[in-house]
Amino acid sequence: MTVHFLYKKLGNSPKHLQYAWFSAMHTRVDMALYHASKELLKDTACQIYAEVARLEQTGSFYSAESELCAVNRHAAAKPVAISRDLYRMVELSLELHKKTLGCFDVTVNSGSYDSQTIAGVALEKEAQTIFYRRPDIKIDLSGFLKGYALEQARAILAKAGLKDALISMGGSSVLAIGNHPFGGGWKVDFRTAKNGDATAVRLHNRCLSTSGNEIPGQKHIISPHTGKYIEGIGRAAVVTETGTEGEALSTSLCVATARQREEILQRFKAEQILID
Amino acid sequence: MDFKGMKRRDFLKNMGVAGLTAFVASSPWVSAFSESARTQKEKIRLGIIGPGSRGRHLMHFLCKNPKVEVAALCDIYRPSIDAALRLAPGAKVYADYRQLLDDRSVDGVFVATPLNAHYPIVMDAFDAGKHVFCEKSIGYTIEECFRMYNKHLETGLIFFTGQQRLFDPRYLKAMEMVHAGIFGEVNAIRTFWNRNDDWRRQVPSPELERLINWRLYRESSKGLMTELACHQLQIGSWALQKIPETVMGHGAITYWKDGREVYDNISCIYTFDDGKIMTFDSVISNKFYGLEEQIMGHLGTVEPEKGRYFFEDVAPAPGFLQMLNDVERKLFDALPFAGTSWAPETANENRGEFILGERPKGDGTDLLVNAFVEAAITRRQPERIAEEGYYASALCLLGDQALQEKRALTFPDEFKIGYLNHQRTK
């Protein structure tokens, strides 16, 4: 069994709170759902697990067997027909690249990267193909996949008729829909890197995304301006409507200049929780 | 349940003795301390029958309790009396336990004699109106244990057995977590107690051999089963809230062939009515793995002796466990988990978490002894403690019988006491 479950009955109500967790996408996924039917809860969590695992097979930059890796190997030679999900993810990434003034760039891991690299990615809607106009392009969806998975999870929850849920992908991408059993929205806490104080944020039909180089010696965000790992900024956390926006925005804020930040935030109508 | 407590270093400091009552739902006998503030000025007089090394260990805690006066001592071995008098200089010394029981000023007795002497002393003590704390195993046969338990019920006097794990904070916390389902469905409990020594005490002169090394001779002991298994088998009924139905096993003297009569190498399998298993193994010629009771759930493992627990592949997240705890109390609190992404490299190796957030200290003996004092003062027998003690003894004795008879045995219906799943069928 890959998904783990714990249940708690909600007082005198016939409902149960289900806590389900599993590992996927090189991190852990935790979710809280509640309903009267344990079967429905369990089934929904399993569907979400299956979906996350499927997306990992599709969009992982690190797993050689993923669809994305096959694209990275072959798309410079000729247009490659791709799945609906991969097409949609790349398409969204390109849109978000524009919307973030170039700060969110899924091609930063390409060889001889420059700010024009991403323009070499060509999508063909009719044929649902992708083609790399430059030979050394590599798309890396790592900073995006979890947000996309949250949106897929949201659709599964809606289909199951579950209106209240909290899903965390590794703590850095959180989707909160509806309400906690005993309060409005869901309250999430995170420690600021600098002084260790807790910061709580209440989420209601929103996503919380955090990006940053919090762990010493584990830099992973590359600036499209310089092509190098960013220094200085610890974390950027934002609250957005969708997980995909959240991922692009939090990553962008880590690499943006102060002026760019202001403009990007306005474009997304998002709330910036912290930059430290 | 307070999941925050799992990691809080000051857990025990904040808890205090009265705070133990937080565990009353999963371990009802801790209610013994519920009136400890009210009994501050009370004092009871206790007698120690058999102040040998274990008896004096118990005395050590009693002498520190201001609610206790150790008023009487009885032993047939003078050096034990002399050592005990150093702990309780004012105690009256009796050569015959019956005389001690005749002392009307004594409220209760601790019985820490060799096993074969427990039964007559405990029965006489109840008849004399004394509350009784009896070391384990309580009886030499299941029938003796059964009669002692019934005598306790008839007289209404307090009856505790020396099962200190029942008050060990590590075990209390672990059982609360097990009962809350944190480790999933428990299907197996593996207990073992390994040592690498001959289990002998030094004997000043040869005629004292059977008196001092009573644990090694069948007439006075059933060896590893009555001395060690007794503590560990009780973990099964506590964790599963069930009593096993059958036992089979093998025992032999394979290494310490020094004239002893009890096995030095034992393996027993106890099975529950739903097929779940509890094992007990004891080898005293290899100590590498020491002792432990491994409670094995489909989500994780608890090792209460080491004070640790482990989860299978992915542990539940503390923040979400906290939410489960909160909804039970209808609380709406923030979940402490958000931040930059969790990655396996940044997670701890699966070396386990400390049940109490720190290395274990003490083993509950002090709390067990003091709980008896509280119960004797308030004359209120805590729920389930005599029953847990009865079954710990009955199960180890049934196991010994299975080893002796070399066959699988079923728990005799006539010795069921109507506890948990052990309702009498007739």
Query: CATH number for the domain including B408?
Result: 3.30.360.10
Question: B304 and B197: one domain?
Answer: yes
Q: What is the mean pLDDT of residues B402-411?
A: 98
> What band does A106 get if pLDDT is binned at 50, 70 and 90?
very high
* Chain B residues near residue A169 by CB distance under 8 angstroms: 341
Task: For residue B270, list its beta bridge partners.
Answer: B247, B278
Q: Are residues B151 and B204 in the same domain?
A: no
User: What CA–CA distance (Å, rounded) separates B280 from B303?
Assistant: 15
DSSP state of A67: H
Kindly report the average pLDDT of chain A as a whole number. 89
Confidence of residue B184 (pLDDT cuts 50, 70, 90): confident
pLDDT of residue A232 exceeding 80: no
Query: What are the percentages of helix, strand and coil residues in chain B, rounded to 5?
Result: 40, 20, 40
Judge whether B309 and B302 are in contact, CB under 8 Å: yes
CA distance linking residue B88 with residue B94, whole number of Å: 14
Name the domain boundary from B131, B165, B199: B165
Phi, psi (degrees; rounded to nearest 5) at A188: -125, 140
Residues B140 and B195 in one domain: no
Could you give the percent of chain B with pLDDT greater than 90? Answer: 75
Q: Do residues B334 and B210 both lie within one domain?
A: yes
The confidence band for B332, taking pLDDT boundaries of 50, 70 and 90, is: confident
What is the arithmetic mean of pLDDT over B329-347? 70
Q: Based on the domain organization, do B140 and B223 belong to the same domain?
A: no
CB-CB under 8 Å, A188 with B181: no
Chain B partners within 8 Å of A19 (Cβ): 316, 320-321, 323-324
Highest mean pLDDT among B24-28, B307-311, B396-400: B396-400
| Position B301 in a domain | yes
Total structural domains in chain B? Answer: 2
Crossing angle of helices A38-59 and A67-74, rounded to 10°: 20
Chain segment B368-388, per-residue pLDDT in tens: 999 999 999 999 999 999 999
Q: Which of A120-129, B4-13, B87-96, B278-287 has the lowest mean pLDDT?
A: B4-13
What are the CA-CA distances from residue A227 to residues A92, A118, A137, A155, B235 (Å)?
A: 22, 13, 14, 36, 60
Residues 166-225, chain A: which have Cβ within 8 Å of B?
166, 168-174, 180-183, 186-191, 198, 200-201, 208, 210-215, 218
**Which pLDDT belongs to residue B61?**
96
Distance from CA of A37 to the nearest CA of B (A): 17
Please compute, for residue A93, the number of CA atoms within 13 A of its CA located in the half-sphere on the CB side.
27
Which pLDDT score is estimated for B175? Answer: 94
Residue corresponding to tokens 């009593």: B243
**B351 belongs to a structural domain:** yes
Greatest CA separation for chain B: 73
Question: In B273-317, where does DSSP find H-type helix?
Answer: none
Element (H, E) at A174: strand A173-177
- Answer yes or no: is pLDDT of A233 > 70: no
- The reported pLDDT for the residue numbered B7 is 40
Residue A196 has pLDDT above 60, yes or no: no
CA B191 to chain centre: 14
Domain of residue B255, residue span? 182-361+384-415
**B contact residues 161-190, partner A, Cβ 8 Å cutoff:** 181-182, 184
pLDDT band at A240 (very low <50, low <70, confident <90, very high): very high
Best residue of A1, A8, A15 to probe chain B, by most B CBs closer than 10 Å: A8
Q: Which of B114, B139, B165 is the last residue of a domain?
A: B165
Task: Identify whether B173 is part of a domain.
Answer: no
Closest by CA to B412, choosing from B402, B266, B140, is B402
- Chain B residues touching residue A201 (CB < 8 angstroms): 338
Q: Is residue B286 part of a domain?
A: yes
Min Cα distance A78 → chain B (Å) is 35
Gyration radius of chain A's alpha carbons: 19
pLDDT band at B181 (very low <50, low <70, confident <90, very high): confident
User: A9: nearest CA in chain B?
Assistant: B328
Instruction: Kindly tell me if the per-residue pLDDT of A229 is higher than 90.
Output: no
Query: In a mutagenesis test of the A interface, which of B182, B298, B335, B345 is the best target, namely the one with the most A β-carbons within 10 Å?
Result: B335
Residue B254 has pLDDT above 70, yes or no: yes
Q: How confident is the model at residue B424 (pLDDT cuts 50, 70, 90)?
A: confident
Task: Write down which residue in B140, B165, B190 finishes a domain.
Answer: B165
Beta-strand pair B92-94/B68-74 = parallel
Interface check for A258 against chain B (CB to CB < 8 A): the answer is no
- Amino acid B139: pLDDT: 98
